[in-house]
Structure 1
Amino acid sequence: MNARTRALDSVVFGVDIQSGDVRGDAPSYALVVLDGDEVERDVVSLRKLRRLVEAREPAMLATDNMYELAADKDALVHFLRWLPEGTKLVQVTGAERPEPLSRVASRHGVPYGKKPMKEAEAAARLALGNVGYEVSAFTNTTTVKVSRGRSTGKGGWSQDRYTRRIHGNVRRRAREVESELDKAGLEYDKDVTEKYGGFSNAIFTVEARPGDIPVSANRSGDVRVEIERERRDGVEFEPLVKRRDRVIVGIDPGTTTAVAVADLDGNVLDVYSTRTDDTAGVIEWLIERGRPTIVAADVHPMPETVEKFRRSFEAVGWAPPKDLPVDEKLHRTRDIDYDNDHERDALAAALFAYDAHEDQFARITRKVPPNVDRSEVIARVLAEEESVEAVLRELDPRVEDETEAESTHEPRELTEDEKRIKRLERQVERLETHADELKTRLETKDETIDEYEKELSDARRNERREARERREVNRLERENERLERERDKAEKKADELERKLDRLKTLWKLDHSNFADVAGDRDLVAVKVVEQFTLDGIETAQEQFGLAAGDVVYFRDASGAGRRTAELLAETDPRVVLREGGLSDAADEVLFEADIPVGPAEDVSMQEVDELAVARESDVEAVIDDWEERAEERRRDQNSAMVDEIISEHRAENRGR
């Protein structure tokens, strides 16, 4: 909804200086309040004017001179900062070089009088008609600052926890503000100052007015939120609305509302129909396309809905003497594109209204000088039913009496009753001010009490939580001590068992050094395990468990044996030698000559425990039997070779004889 539409539904204040001066003491103002069809008039002090603005938050505060409300530019900026977000300060007489109010009022057909109350009403009505400029000292950039709401204190045993809580609350509130800005789709920059436990402050620079930001300034406990608009370098003026041409509007109301717009030359500018937009939406659409001078209907009498639109724009109404026939509407709109019958009826209403005024427009046009806006003259002639000459005299600034146009307000001598009233008013204002101060102090004390109660509640809650934590810590410490005692006891028992196992192994080795009684009556035989078939390996075995005659000896690696190693082993006279890997010919020869059986370990099923092992007696016997068979065959081969050698030697001797 634009400014014009809002103004139709909002309160507008018009003010003019009544007596005194804003630069002096106790200025009073003539105040006119326009609220729909209601008009309120009053004479108020500056303080009361401020209270009324704060209470009612008018859409516009209109004046003919902004410096009637502020002594200088700094005071004006302060006044603009104080204004409620939804209230505009409007100077209806222009921007940097304002015109006399009488001239502006005459140009726009607004009643004017030299008395302050009349001037205040003229300013209000001009602002209501979107005449004038908004006075602005701030940009559309707003700073939202989230900071600490209280000091972190001078120290103490709980200062760290207290500071961490405050900074944590600031960080949490900053994240909430950031989330709200993101949800609203606003662009912003963020600058945070990180401190112990969170943020000391977070500053959001938002590209929006405060009223468009879904965050309000407040102070709650540990956190304070401040909102401030960015100030311009100076004071700027923005027109309430851009210039819009005068137009003729045709409206066909109903379930589907259709609106057509034509200019004052009968050219169709736009047509539109809707089933969903309300009256405000249609008005906004019309405002974007011009200033309605004539609002027309295609039936007689004019429907109440069309009449409401006419009153909204203060336009001239037109309706045909009787309902327009369909064939005439079709003929009049034959060269225009439209989507439905409703748009056709709206177009017909606008065009027939133009036809009815065409001759009048032509006569007015012939009389209007080139330097005067023809559309304004037509609008004034139609609205006020004045002659063209009278309107031209009002619109031509050269016929204005500048001295009469200037508004001067000479203060007059007050009567005793008026002086007494003034004194009583000042006394009332002082009492009201004092009452406001007392209320403020009371509210501040209430807030302080609430903060203290909250802090006390938080402290008690923290104390209870800490007590629970201490009890839990004590319980866990006791449980930990119990588990540590059980662990120490288990470790001690494990150490004792390990030492006992070592002693048992030692005793077992001593008691069974010949390994003979391990087998007993079972089909088992003890096996002595030697890592390598080397001198060092045999000596190590002798030291650890000893090698005796009749032992079954198992070499994990027999590849390193030589003649000397085999002879050392043969001295112990083992029952059988089980080997992994190959055996050298020299070692094999020594063991064969010593009649010591040798066989592969894979032929014997063994179970090992450290350097001790047991094997099945049957497997060992099988290895021995296999070796004896091979040894017997080897002896036969040796004997055969020996006989062959003797025979060969004998033959050689016989040939020598």
Structure 2
Amino acid sequence: MNDRTSALDSVVFGVDIQSGDIRGDSPSYALVVLDTRDTESDEVRIERDVVSFRKLRRLIERDEPAIVATDNMYELAADKDDLVRFLRWLPHETRLVQVTGSERPEPLSRVASRHGVPYGKEPMKEAEAAARLALANVGYEVAAFENTTTVKVSRGRSTGKGGWSQDRYTRRIHGSVKKQARKVEAALDEANLDFERDVTEKYGGYSQALFTVEARPQDIPVSTHRSGDTRVEIERERRDGIEFEPLVKRRDRVIVGIDPGTTTAVAVVGFDGRVLDVHSTRTADTAAVIEWIIERGRPSLVAADVQPMPETVEKFRRSFDAAGWAPPSDIPVDEKLHRTRDIDYENDHERDALAAALFAFDDHEDQFERISRKVPADVDREEVIARVLVREESVEAVLREMNDDGDDTSDEPDETAHEEPELTPEEREIRDLKSRVNRLESHVEDLSETIEEKDEIIDEYKDELSEARREERREARERREINRLERENGRLERKVESLESENEELTEKLDRLKSLWKLDHSNFADVNTNGILTSDSEWEVAERKSEANESGGNLVPVKIVEQFTNGALDETVEQYGIAAGDVVYLRDASGAGRTTAERLADFDPRVVLRAGNLSEVADEVLFEAEIPVAPADGVAIQEIDELAVARESDVAAAIADWEDRAEERQKEQQKEMVDQIISEHRAENRR
């Protein structure tokens, strides 16, 4: 068991409900304060009072007691959620302790009687009993949070809804968050704390940075605050539910395997072969490792994985006054891997420590079973095994010694005891104490030498650590710069791909425009006549070629629109463009409405050649816009791939024909208008 019998020098609050209920409006509490600070004797300063819940919280905030003890935690909280909020509110160094047990608490009277603490039914007596029990390390700490803390750096004010300087304002806030996040990261690095960082990058910097730190809030060199554009929030990570941790943990007899070196690894195994814990460290000294082991059990057997046992492992063995074990020869790596195959460990050092402890257990397993069969049910089996291992005595001798220690000794000496050849218990104890003193004196000398060596090593390590930290910070800066350059390189590569794609499209368009230009400045007779869309005979084609040669053969480009719709117009504009004075050929002129016709008229083409008939609405719109419209049958249109040309003379003839038809159409419209006026005049005269 733990030798510690009372809480550290501190203040303990004992609390019990006096009247009312926490679920009501105004509960009152009986409060007993036990103050063990600054006392030269064993006396404890006691204060008693009846306080409201609000005053109780103020006193807890002011005094920051080590323990707030109660017989029922739900006297301080209405439900589980309220209890979690109360635990979050408690000062960092204050623990809530339920002295009556964990999930199934016992009556306070029974617990107090078992530990010899005065008890009374009055609330003040119950509060005092709870405080004294907690002071004696009786009870369970109520815990709802892990030893992991979240540090959140975020914006301290909103970026707003906009404005002429909105971008600059937003960039400044995000830059401030990034700057504050770097300060927090530097503080955590300086404190040598393990943490993970998750940032949300925004315009100008960060909108949020989240640090998950393996430490309690009081161990983190950062506090919750809000300053200008940023704020820092600290919150402990919550557990899945409410858990209970005993104030004093039973320390059973254990087997300890140790792998010394630059990295020291320790494994703890129970007498039943269960692996209880494993740990490795490069920074902790011998005292810290011993403290870690003591927190997990009382070592009875210290094991190594090599032969002979290293001096460092031997020092640990002497520190615990435990038996030692080493294999006949160094344990091969494949056997270590096989023996530890079902156990999780972090590195090879932990594997070696585990292998040492487990092989030591395997070597003594039969002995443990033999001892267990001889030990009565009412005797501590592990204590007997430990004494047999350390003292190398028989089970019977150990049992006799334990029975003698448990018997009440009388004032009169036992005359028959002097006649026995065996030593009396007192003489055996003296012998053991002398032997232990000699071992401890030798151990003290060894430790003194070790301390001097460690001091020198520590100084060297400090220098190396400082240099390593500088190197790590430099590498971190380089990594951040590399990441930034990689992101920038990726952005530029994506931009290059986009520009190359755009350049290919423009090149294709330029090629098409060059082809049009060449056709516009070439002779129609040079064009291959296999693609003529008219039904002219070869004689007519030859005649047209002759006329073209005589007239100089001027050609004009023709912009083809597959169908008289907005979509087809968009496609032609995208590929070739339609400008004022262009010749437009509608391969299918049917189906257009007013909107499509008005859009074509807005381009102001020189002439529109159509295949098929226009709708009445489209024909009316183009006529009113004075856009010539002529059938495509009267114009020889030559198509080469996606390009087309027509003879200038044919186009001019089509326009002249339209003008004649337009003049007649206008005359007809005027005549109809005059007839309508006369009809209307006659109708009015009849009235």
- TM tier relative to shorter chain: 0.3 to 0.5
TM-score by length of 2: 0.37
Higher relative contact order by CA 8 Å / sep ≥ 6: 1 or 2? 1
TM-score by length of 1: 0.39
Higher alpha-carbon Rg: 1
